[in-house]
Amino acid sequence: MADTPILLREQQYHQIKAVLARLRMDASAKVVFLVDKDGQEIASQGEVGNLDTTSLASLAAGNVAATGGMAQLIGEKEFPTLSHEGEKDSIHISVVGRLLLVVVFDERSSLGLVKLRSKQVSHQLATMFEEIAAGDFDDESPFAGITDEDIDSLFS
């Protein structure tokens, strides 16, 4: 297998949430969330309300993957940022290592501000996530002791 599981501890989760909360405030954004490049939502912050963040995370990852594929076809490594501007709400996505930082904003903010603030926290998030990715899975996996009965119970 190419990948080992990502294990996010409670303290790390709250650190990430704090960074996202600050970004959301500094960028005057509606919602900020962090997504793994494979489409898994890691954390979100803001006016989530009825927003389907799980689907949005998956589509954001698909979007970045598709444009990344296009980038490679024209000889680029990837397109590090993507922006989609709507009539009222817009989305800005920046690639931070294996993460995507997704910012949803409206007329209270601007693309320039969102880009600037996203860039400012990118390094910090990348460093935090490197530590998370380097974490030892074996020690703390809650699943090391699961039984066949535990698994079967999910389908009963």
How far apart are CB 17 and another protein at their closest, in Å?
8
How far apart are CB 57 and another protein at their closest, in Å?
9
When the beta carbons of 27 and 35 are compared against another protein, the nearer one is: 35
How far apart are CB 73 and another protein at their closest, in Å?
8
Note whether 58 and 94 are within 8 A (CB).
no
Give the three-class secondary structure for 23. helix
When the beta carbons of 17 and 119 are compared against another protein, the nearer one is: 17
When the beta carbons of 38 and 85 are compared against another protein, the nearer one is: 38
Q: Which long-range contacts (CB under 8 A, 24 or more apart) does 150-154 make?
A: none
- How far is C-alpha 46 from the geometric centre of its chain's CA atoms? 14
- Gap between the Cα atoms of 82 and 111, Å rounded: 11
When the beta carbons of 111 and 133 are compared against another protein, the nearer one is: 133
When the beta carbons of 43 and 121 are compared against another protein, the nearer one is: 43
How far apart are CB 111 and another protein at their closest, in Å?
25
Note whether 97 and 133 are within 8 A (CB).
no
- Gap between the Cα atoms of 107 and 90, Å rounded: 9
How far apart are CB 113 and another protein at their closest, in Å?
29
Give the three-class secondary structure for 125. helix
Q: Which residues bind another protein (CB under 8 A)?
A: 1-10, 13-14, 36-40, 42, 52, 54-55, 58-59, 62, 65-66, 68-69, 137-138, 141-146, 150-155
Structure tokens at 116: 């600037």
